[in-house]
Structure 1
Amino acid sequence: MPLAYALVGMVGLILALTWGALQVQIALAGFLNGESIWSKAQKQSVIALDAYAGKGNVADLANYRLNYGVLMADRWARDQTALANYDYDAVVGALRRSKTVTVAIPGVIFILRHFADAPYMRDALQAWRSTDSSIAELDVIASSLEAGYATGKISDAEIALQRERIGAINSYIEPRSKLFSRAVADGAAWIGQVLFGCVLAAAAFAALLWLGMARRILASVRGTEERYRLLFDSAADAIVMVDETSGRILDVNQTASVWTGRPADELIGDRFVHLFAQSLSGQQAGRAATNALLGADGSKRPIETQSSLANWGSRPVRQAIIRDISERLAMEQERRVAAEALASIAEGVIIADADRRVISTNAAHVDLTGFTSQSLLGKRLDDNRRMPDGKPLPQSIWEGVAAGHNWLGEVQTTRNDGSSYPEHLSISTIRNADNQVLYYVAVFTDVHEAKANQRRLEHLARHDPLTGLVNRAEFERCCSEAIAVAERERLAAVVLFIDLDAFKIVNDSYSHAIGDRLLVKVGERIRRQLSDGDVAGRIGGDEFTVLIPRLGLREDARMIVSRLLTALADPVLVDDYEIVLSASIGVAGYPLDGDSAAALIANADAAMYTAKTEERNTFRFYTPIMHADTRRRMQLATELRQALARNEFQLVFQPSVELRSGRIVAVEALLRWQHPERGEVLPGEFIPVAESLGLIRRIDEWVMQATCAQIEAWNLAGVPPIRVAVNVSARWFSHPAFVEGVSRALQSRQLSAQRLLLEITESAMLRLGDDTERTMRTLHTLGIDVAIDDFGTGYSSMSYLKLPAVAYLKIDRSFVTGLPGNANDAAITEAMLAMSKSLGLITIAEGIETEAQHEFLLRAGCVEGQGYLYSYPLKANEIQHLLCPNQPLAPARLRLVPPRRN
């Protein structure tokens, strides 16, 4: 009786511990189940939101909202249980909405309420809470995408940015989700170990009580046990004998011990449910059920269990046969992955039988062709496919595929709606062990867009992206073809080289955007003047070319060139601006002017340069001497670079006299190039070359330094102080270091700023831009005056006359030459003098050569004058002699011719 009472007590204790363990395991199972649902909802919400971002499908947004609701329900339930007073039924309802196992809900709430700070649980909840803001950010992104797709104003760049944010949020949440799962699992394992220890202790105590009884019956059953063990341990499946009443393991075979990694004596006495990762509730005797067998190292082996009841004496025993199904599951997984991959790939896939009749297609096939799998069943896969020339797929294709080769090619496919599209098709086979064809597999892609992109790229490779005209490479190819035709048919092919006059002024005055739109309109005008077969091209900047093939003579192009000049001279309306330009055109023709495309283009370019240099708004036919001029300019450019290094430049000075008294009040420094072989080279010949090479600023700086050095030399020689004017190019005047350079040149020679006058042409003022006023104010602060040279010949407004540093106005010689006889020149000159007087500007007239001009300007109020009437440009020592006549001077070729005075 004491043994019976002890046994009852131990059984009760074990049952109590088992019930407690079950309750804890159920609660933890609820956590694990909730985590699985939460993790799946998190992943599905990310996947759905990413799909919605990519395609804007409303179904994807709805799927996202559904999974997001699960996440919010879990989060609300977690936060509610942390409050002092919370609605228990509402929390239960939230957990049910999140699909938490119903039986585990009370345990989940109890653990959240009372054991939130327990080991492992604290880490799990902390990991869970750390994802709240990221999940909330997903909803912000969803709302932004929904608004963007609703208005239709969402860009590809914004979509890519939002998808990148979604990916970043998923990358943040995923490791914390895993941390939550691991913490809950570790807690479950820890509690299981504690409960297992208690159960094991109780089992050990019970074993001690029954040890004596076992010893007495051991001898009688030893022989039977050995026979049974031999059969039991040799089974390929794991066999576990379980006490039906207590659920404890009574016996295991060798296979069970190997699979669990635990010795048999450790397994015996343990609870049968502890062997598995999932609950055994609901498993019926005699029916197979899948589960996962736990290994001692934490590994899981997929298994299938089948149990039956038997009696050991009067004890009901459950015999559980455990079969390893790893290989079967792996094969099923491979088939599932293959099926999902087939369904999800972007290419269309058709699987046909050995007679080429369709048996299956993937989703992409429906999207590409409009045919469903059901509508194609039994039809041949090549019924709606033709070769690009419209012929059926030849039998040779199928013979080659049946022989073991893959076929790749382009076909024309008809959609369900009757339309067709180009398709890149690949056909292969699946064979049996006897190498016989079982199935044909066709993979295809719609290449319509790819071919369109290829055509677009080919067009861009041959055409100018701004104007749509052909580019240089394509134009040269067309020229080569035209030359070949002209040679074969004894005709002429003509190339026109068109360059817009003063296009840079348009860019500088308006903007480069206006300039680009102007070039587009110019290209359109050129195209309208051409005939079919003529080719227009843009080879860079404002340079256009035209090919006129199949002419009888080169001169036959004269009419077309005249039309082009007239068309390009008409005003062009760009936005709100009316722009007037002209063009210079060079003409070169095969066979007279060259026998290759490169030669014709180069010679037409040379002819254009001659037209621009001589007249502008005109055209010139190529002559061989034009290339000689080009070579001369190139030689001049080379020598000009050397001239700076060799100090071949020098200054001469032309006096400026006061008209009323005839007194020399100033001189203008003029640049000359003393070439070692060609002698003196005038500025009109080399200054344009220097500007094109970017050397003009260095030349200006040299002139400034040389002028200041000469002023210093005159001061040391006792020459009366006079004003010295220096011409400044627009390029140097607009340079950031201009003012500092001028100031440094004066300071290095200790010269007064009043001794220096800077001259800049009116046309150059137009190109200076917004920094002009700031530069003028700085010069005025330094005490340096500025003169506007060649006044009356520019195109700008007269607002610059009000700038602070402007103190002098130089009347261009083109107005002085006609005085006093030309009424127009006289009226213009008098108007400029009157305006200058009202603005307080000192006027200087250029190019005075006669007494009549002198008298007219004096009466009209001009203050100073320059010209051959008074003096030619003189060397520095000759100027010194004029101002200091008592100093000796070597004989000079030039003499001063003072004006007559009344």
Structure 2
Amino acid sequence: MTERSERNRATADGLANADELALIALPAAPALLSTEDGIVVRATEQAARLAGEPSPAALVGVRLADLVVRDGSASLLRARGGHIPVRPLSWPHADDERLRVTVLVDVSDLAGRGTGGTAADDERHWLIEAQRIAKVGSWVYYPETGEIYRSPVLAEFLAGFGADAATMIAAFHPEDRDRARRFFTDVLTAPEDELLEVELRDLSGKRIYLCTGRAEYNRSGRVERVQGTVQDITEHRALERLLRDERRKLQDAQRIARLGTWEWDPRTNVMHLSSMLHEIIGKPTSAPTTWDTYLERVHPDDRNWVVQAWRPLVENHEPVEVEHRYVRLDGALRILRLHGAAIRDADGHDVLVGTAQDVTEQRAVVTRMERSSKRFSDLVNMTPVGIGLFDRAERLVDANDALCELLGYQLEQLRGKSIDDITHPDERGAGLPAPIERSGIRRRVPQRVLVRSDGEPVYCELHTSSSVQDDGTQFWLVVFQDITERRRAAEALRYQATHDDLTGLPNRAAVKDLLGHLLGRVDSHRVAVLFCDIDNFKRVNDSLGHDAGDELLVALARRLEGGLPDGCTAARLSGDEFVIICQDIQAVGGVDSLATRVSGLLRTAVPVHGQLIRVSAAIGAAVPNGTGAGGEDLLRFADAAMFEAKRRGTGKVSLASPALMAAADRQLHLEGQLREALHNDGLALHYQPVVNAEGVVVSAEALVRWPHPDRGMLTPDAFLPIAEQGDLLRELDRWVLRTALREAASWPVRGGRPVAVAVNLAGLVPGGPEFVDAVADIVAETGIEWDRVVLELVETALVDLPSRTRHEMGELVSRGVRFAVDDFGTGYSSLARLKDLPAQIIKVDRRFVAGVGGDASDFAVARAVVDMARAMGRLCVAEGVETATQFHVLCGLGVDAYQGWLFSRAVPAREFRDMLARDPLPIPGA
């Protein structure tokens, strides 16, 4: 063996010297390092002991085939004769594929004829431990017998699976089993010594194994055996993924930051640029870069000072930072910021390294911010809103011109003043809201009273924000918005919302608030309410006009303000209705004493328009009855008591008794039922015909009725006062107008003459809100012709109409609507005003019609009205015609149409349709 070993050693010497081979790591087990030709170039101490050699050097230069022979199984030839059963495990060395590592596993215990003893057991144990540490298992496959040997570590990897090829393949993930089968097939057909690899996952897919295999052929060219390893590389792959991710993140970060790296060797003047830096400067990666070629693209105006700025780095290796313009090959101008430093490479040479960042966009943003800051400063200086800058001690540091003008100071006078110094004495100590540590939090102070240099108060709304300057100093930014005028306007609006426009007294809203406050006190039983209604006030309006009535109301309001005792408040609800609220009725001597005093104030003579008008008032009083009645209830009881006093005569006073309160409650209940009837179409219309002299029906007046569930059919005189008190007249008029026009639209037409329909309005009147729109919408909704609509109004509603209201009525008249004056002759100075009434039909009141057959005065009035109506081109209709005598006399006077029981009472809609079918109507006595 010695002579052969010498020859082989000479062959191995050409591969590597002994010092280099000694540096190659081998497992701490019986291991051999051999060349491609199978010549052993290094052995471990464990391998020498297993072979019976005194030292590892005895095995160097020996062919591996001479040491390990196979005769049915592998055996290691020992130096002193004999052999020991082994299983060699081989794999290429990781650093040099020309070398192979072979580990000899002592399997004498498996063969039953080993000579290893305790030392061999130790070697086998350490070999297994080495595989376990390296996470490498080995296997050997013998195609002739189908036998597979698995090392203990591999058996641990494939725990629970058998030692044949099929079950080994089943130990891997289902998705990887086809690749495992191809791997075994490829290994069995691969050229000798060709190492094949495949990565497979375990059943759970969590572990990754690198499987290697290499076939060994015998002299006849058949595969004698296949050797391989299975290595757990899960952590390696995880580390590789982590490194890839980190590398990708670094590249992404550089791309996002537009940051590249460079390296410059001053000895060669060659610069190595990262791919990102090549992209930034727009230069292909294939083009070499030197400091000179880089400098050529630096902007000509920056080139000289860039060279000067770079000199400390080149000459003294001092770190530098340079920012300059760079002209790319495509002509684009970029701004680059370069950092450079000196380091030593592995050879001990100085190398300059650094980064280059494209800051073009950043510089553009900075420029825009500087311009924006300048514009902001200019805007602050010219804005009409006061702006001040305060330090942590809340002392003014700076202010714009508007704040100086607002407070009446020069800027130098304002500087150093605290927020308390410019605050009104009544509000000092409040400071600025929110702690300054909460930077960026904006707060609003709705009102703060400041004081001008002349002592005048200024009402401001403050908007504050705490912030930090560039040097870290915290400060307050405060915007002062002058709301003095807004506050005055708000106070005026608040006053208007709670006070009567005419008299300046508190209105209904203020009365409700005051009563709600007083009745919420412990001594609410001392509260009293007086409801006052001026006697015959309507006569003043009708005879002297509304201006005179307004003058009278103002005079009475002033008397109440000046004559009421302390603790009493006068208010005006509407029209000629006044309310007195007493906080403590006992303090003024009781209800009777207060009512007498108020009655005396309202019983007076007032000069109006050059005339002395004597007035008085009906007064109703109410006090809490202990039932928890609210302010609305107390007003309602006092109102009911006032109506009771008015029934007793002028200037009377009445106290709300329990019976009167109960009646008021019933009236309130009836009002609720009326509301429900309006909303649910629970009312009905009857129609009374209006005929001409031949008995032909020319129109019909719609009269509302209420089929009450408990009280039967109610006529308007039973529920119109309730509707008026409940503010339902307007809603009731809408319902009547809509229902009447809808039913009239379907009336039959005879002789080509459609019958008109008349609706008497009390709440929906000209001059009211949206009068024209309300009528137009209902006409459009019902589809009736405009010239079939007659709107009846009492004479007083048409007197002294403003020009706007007359224009509104003119719009409806231009479309075909006609207006009728109802109950004409009952007003004041009616004949004198007939020419001014914007109406096309005059209806003579029934009181004059009743006496035309025997009373000369009634006859004269009727004739005068008819003559004047005809002279002015108006139609004349007589109301309340009940006898044939009345009819014949009126016919002789020239009346155009007639309405009354002589022809028909008001009948339900169905009966009226039947009446139209019998048109003309018979005239009794004709």
More strand by share: 2
Higher relative CO (Cα under 8 Å, sequence separation at least 6) belongs to 1
> Does TM-score exceed 0.5, indicating one fold?
no
Q: Per the shorter chain, which TM-score range?
A: 0.3 to 0.5
TM-score (norm 1): 0.42
Largest Rg, 1 or 2: 2
More helix by share: 1
